[in-house]
Structure 1
Amino acid sequence: MFGFGTDIGIDLGTAYVLIYVKGKGIVLREPSVVAIKEKTNEIMAVGEEAKKMLGRTPANIRSIRPLSQGVISDYDATEQMLKYFINKAIGHRLIKPRIGVCVPSGVTEVEKKAVEDATKQAGARYVDTIEEPIAAAIGSGIDISRPCGSMIVDVGGGTSDIAVISLGGAVVKKSLKCAGDDFDEAIIKYVRKKYNILIGERTAEQIKINVGSVYKREVPVDIEVRGRNLVLGLPKNIIITSEEIMEALEEPITNIIDGIRSVLEATPPELAADISDRGIVLTGGGSLIYGFDKLIHERTGITAVIAEDAMSCVAIGTGMWVEYRYAKGNPYNR
């Protein structure tokens, strides 16, 4: 269906792409995966369909993630993926949409320019970028315009962004290339080392979602998974417990908590006092792993709260920012 232009916000994540449309909210949430024919570079599938192909494609088809650690690693595939998702979210428009897209707080100007160019080529009339922790704060309901300190920790697929925000900007910020994908990788390495069993990305993600823990559970849980025995080369089933995953994730989780501590140490005293009173707000899919909020409280002494709809906060915040950016009467409106 053809229609007029609109304003949309895009959370261009390493693991998932979310699209927010003005007046409708989140209209699309799909994996950031593209399946491509090797010789012709023809796009075979995008999103959920492409994710099903991960680790299962023949030699002539590649199923890839075109973003790595929060930035574009395959420009053409990212452009095609964005074009597909934008069309799926809003259909064909007589007037191209104005798009806000989020980027990690630690990106270089070159990396940010690549995101802007890919979004424009995918069908945007105007493109604006917003840093992920700012978008996450807006989407979680924090009034970032106030002169008081708010701390946000956004744990996505490729990066963890930590920031102390006051008066609409980040006073102290840090972007770590350690997040949900690193949790999956740590689980794969642990299972390989302990059981001599090789599991794939999808199985590791399934383990993380179902029994992932970073804090001791009152009642341990477990899951049965299948992998390939590296000695015999045959499929084998094993039982993985939440306590084992706690051990597997110790290193990446410690890296994130060390990042939180370093941001707190660099925070001005007045804002640090605000954070101590208000607590730390957690967003992103990685923050949903069991016990993450409890572990932060234990290691920093500051209460941590998981935002409502944590996985969508960045997309919602980006969309709300776009709405304000182009609102009638806004002096910044183009």
Structure 2
Amino acid sequence: MWDFAGRDTAIDLGSATVRMHVRDRGVVAREPSLLARCLHTGKILALGLPAQEMAGRNPDVRLVRPIREGAPTETDEAEYLMRALVRTHHRRRYTARPRLVVTVPSGMSSVHYRALQFSAFQAGARRLTLVPTPIAAAIGMGLTSSGRPEVVVVADIGADITDVGVISFGGLVTSHTALVGGSSLDRAIVALVRREHKVRISPASAEAAKLEVGAVPPIGRRPLRQTVVHGRDLTTGMPRGIVLTTADVARAIAAPVGEIVGAIQQGLAGCGPEISGELLGVGITLTGGTARLPGLDRLIRERTGLAARIGDDTGDAAVIGAADVLRSSGSQEPPARRSSPRPHLLTTVPEG
């Protein structure tokens, strides 16, 4: 009966990429978390990849990032983003009202909590569940459940934040969120090129260089590669190309990479002695786009003394785990008089 209102839906609101999972259909959307707004009319012209393609090419368009630090910063734009995704992938332009589960940073502030609540219900959610990203990712990778006593450590290294969670019996034992991620690395590359070459490049060019030749120092025997980035010469104002090598990028990102590792260490430091003794045999599972930076797992292993591995190659673990949360909670809908518009913040895995 409730399928008529919309199938259960999970959304992973990443600062760089938003993913959506619809029950029985799987992951149906992986879009950049971007909107393109007309400067003259204020109308939103595009979202996701079409909006990204307008960046810097249309002077009448301003790009808006409605999700920062893993939470809505622009409630109207975040509402538009979620509503557009829900209506598009439920094939109902105006009537879709699904049960919605959204991943959130484990250290989300009360201000961001209220902003997300408002945006989700305005976007059409009839019920809302919020799941900390480390728990959702652990479920999506099959690492935890409500009845399993094993300790699991998940470090989600995204675009804006690093979210570390220590999980046991399906619940968060301790967690730590730090405002450092892939965007910090991009800004560091932009700053190095500006400082040493007097050239201004875009964050998108810095990200492309990071993906092509980036590696965590020390490079050791890793072969040096190089790439060319283009920007504007600050002296002449003319276009200019700069060659960046693996060593250049490694030197630029050394400081923010150190902050990421420090955030993971701080997350582990919150464990009690009973759990700390088990961590040596458990290791750290890394998720998020920045976790795939070459050499990062090695540096984490050297600094923490714990094995580190990439647990999610696709980036879909969190949204898949969030979808499993609704599946585990069952399809029984409560009576209308017992329904609450307030969201449910889930800190333990439901039994299913």
Distance in 2 of aligned mates of 1:245 and 1:144: 40
- Kindly provide the amino acid, as one letter, of the partner of residue 169 in structure 1: G
Give structure 1 stretches of 5+ with no counterpart: none
Paired with 1:233 and 1:285, the residues of 2 have a C-alpha distance of 34
C-alpha distance in structure 2 between counterparts of 1:221 and 1:269, whole Å: 44
Tell me the residue number matched to 2:88.
88
**Aligned twin of 1:250:** 254
Match of 1:323 in 2: 327
1:298 has 2:299 as partner? no
Structure 1 contact 54–64 (Cα < 8 Å) conserved = no
Contact 1:69 1:159 in 2 (8 A): yes
- Is 1:136 aligned to 2:137, yes or no? yes
Asked if the contact 1:188/1:199 (under 8 Å) is kept, the reply is: yes
Bigger Cα displacement from structure 2, 213-222 vs 169-178: 213-222
For 2:41, the equivalent position in structure 1 comes to 40
Contact residue 36 and residue 62 of structure 1 kept, 8 A: yes
> Among 127, 130, 150, which residue is 1:148 paired with?
150
Tell whether the 8 Å contact from 2:73 to 2:112 is kept in structure 1 after alignment: no
TM-score, normalised to structure 1's length?
Answer: 0.93
Aligned pairs for 1:23-38 within 5 A:
23-38=24-39
**Are 1:140 and 1:310, in contact at CA under 8 Å, matched by a contact in 2?**
no
Question: CA shift at 1:174, angstroms?
Answer: 0.5
Report if the CA contact (8 A) 1:8-1:99 is conserved. Answer: yes
Distance in 1 between the 2:48 and 2:288 partners?
Answer: 19
Percent of counterpart pairs with the same letter? Answer: 35
The letter for the 2-side match of 1:72 is P
Residue type of the partner of 2:201?
Answer: I
Q: Per-residue deviation at 1:115?
A: 0.8
Ranges of 4+ aligned residues in structure 1 off by more than 3 Å: 326-330
2:62 counterpart SS class: strand
* Aligned residue identity for 2:85: F
1:95: how far off? 5.0
| Counterpart Cα distance in 1 of 2:106 and 2:288 | 15
TM-score for both structures, normalised by structure 2: 0.88
Paired position in structure 1 for 2:75 = 75
For residue 56 of structure 1, what is the aligned residue in structure 2?
A: 57
**SS of structure 2 residue aligned to 1:311:** coil
> Are residues 310 and 272 of structure 1, via their aligned partners in 2, closer, same or farther at CA, if it must alter by over 3 Å?
farther
Q: Tell me, which stretches of 5 or more residues in structure 2 are unaligned? A: 335-349
Partner residue, 1:209: 211
Conservation of the 8 A alpha-carbon contact between 2:162 and 2:179:
yes
Aligned partners of 1:21 and 1:45: how far apart in 2?
22
Deviation at 1:4, TM superposition (A): 5.2
CA root-mean-square deviation: 2.1
36-45 or 127-136, larger mean C-alpha shift: 36-45
* Alignment match, 2:196: 194
Deviates most, 261-270 or 158-167: 261-270
- Match in the other structure for 1:8: 9
Letter paired with 2:222: E
State the AA in 2 paired with 1:78: A
Q: Give the Å deviation of 1:234.
A: 0.8
Question: In the alignment, which residue of structure 1 is the partner of 2:180?
Answer: 178
Measured in 1, the distance between the counterparts of 2:215 and 2:9 equals 35
Instruction: Look up the match of 2:102.
Output: 101
Aligned with 1:153: secondary structure? strand
Structure 2: distance between partners of 1:293 and 1:329:
43
